[in-house]
A and B are shown apart, each in its own frame.
Chain A
């Protein structure tokens, strides 16, 4: 997680800049609808397990299959998750909201309608604060949230012989996903670039993970973004024709898709072909790195919304909201601000705070009394490199925060050298165990006794008279050679600061 965040997003930097250069006189307006699949144990309106990856149609019952006579009963965990996210997004919560039916025919929709919330969502008028990564220029942004509402997911269609229903030999319906609870989060059209949009989505992902309401996994479809993009001449008030983009399964794809779409629309405007931008849904094609037309919208779909008569209104009490509010963990933005106050650079803040596992580890290390900057460096340096090469997440390593704190303390007080520290760390990461036991066992305690170091230096100088003469003749670069020799003799345990002081004294001693 830690390394992926950095490496994959870097690659789009070039394209992002190009779009901005081309579009100097134009401005993109981006709004995002995000669907987050909640990680409740059971579905929204029945008691089927809400599990990903089960055998098709194994997590179904008469209710989520839409059999005649079946009725929905709301899973209270869905309301709880919605309230948590609503609070985290600084929304105004509706003490009284209701469910509505959104009606359309499709084989993955067993009842012929989706239970959703139409005119009275559970939460509205919120905002989210994000920090743009330093490699994209950094800076703070606030994006407004229009609404958060609860609804159920549809099933899944599996087509044979074509990737769409029309033209396939046959199509199978898997209803495992039907009735899985979703929160739909609708943003205001506040984003202006691919990176802002991707950062907004990434922040939502962090938020749902921090809150524990969803795993936010884009590949599994637990977090899906539909992005509306339009461009308009700068300083123009009316929005241009908006195009919806779907099918992006990573933040980096989102960023690339949006930037592609912006430059496509800007180019059309610049060529005087602005009227060729039509209201449509376009798909991001990963292979060709472009968006292609999926369907052109002919008029507004009429979903014939009306209040769901099978479910009572959703009534929230202020006490209930307050209790959930009090139970919320520290949220990503709060964490970033706290790290910033501790004196960490924005770069470090973002890396440490943006992965809740990393942040938890980091906080635990600090709690054991470790030096902030050293802890940050170890986590972002050697530990991150280890995670990357082993393809592990920080929650999977054997090193405990306590041991890292001990290691840092031992380096800081000079018991071991930083170099030894690195060696010990590799062992601790792979096998676990105690830092102290390990350095005792291997005799890795740093030699900090000046007398011992002095005698080692004396010995080396005596063994290398030729180099000593050259040094004293002006070839001062040989200092490194002597350091290396002493380190070799001490098996790396000589305190480097002490060593270099004593060595210099000896080398430069008046004859």
Chain B
């Protein structure tokens, strides 16, 4: 634990002293801000019309009209941004050779992996916290339902953590940060779209694939539903990639290719 905390602190400092975290955060906030603004603008126009023509007003609410699309879009931006946050974690150490010293310190492999993963997670949480401005604006000027907001954030955080776990694993596969980012991006995209092909798949896969898809589980959260199997999916996803990372590390040690 002590070792993990030390690795975590060092990683976190490395993030704060390098531009990548700031660039990713800025882009994420700018794009999600723009999406929030345009959704809100469209929503107000529709609401305004609804005042004049009350038959349209039924079924119109902020959660459906603004909050859900916002979470949906933030999820998509995240597919692009998470790999950029994690690509450095192992690839850089492998390239510069510092991995050799790190692995001879009295640390368990998992302490190293978790330390790095949590550092990326904290940066991500900061980024997510900054997006809280949008719902706060909604709370000040309107009355959005709290349920979908809270569930949406829980979903966003869990899905982000899953992306980061996958990205951290991808970073341990190569010495090249770009390659690490591309692998992570490709895998995330695959997990995102995997549910699309279900209609063509054989019956067994047709049942399984939707549950593997990352977006499927995310959708429930932004509807305001917190279901055990969605929680479990993300926790298993995170656990799987952290564990895969450890196995990979161990096997590269045996082969002497760290």
Chains A and B bind each other: no
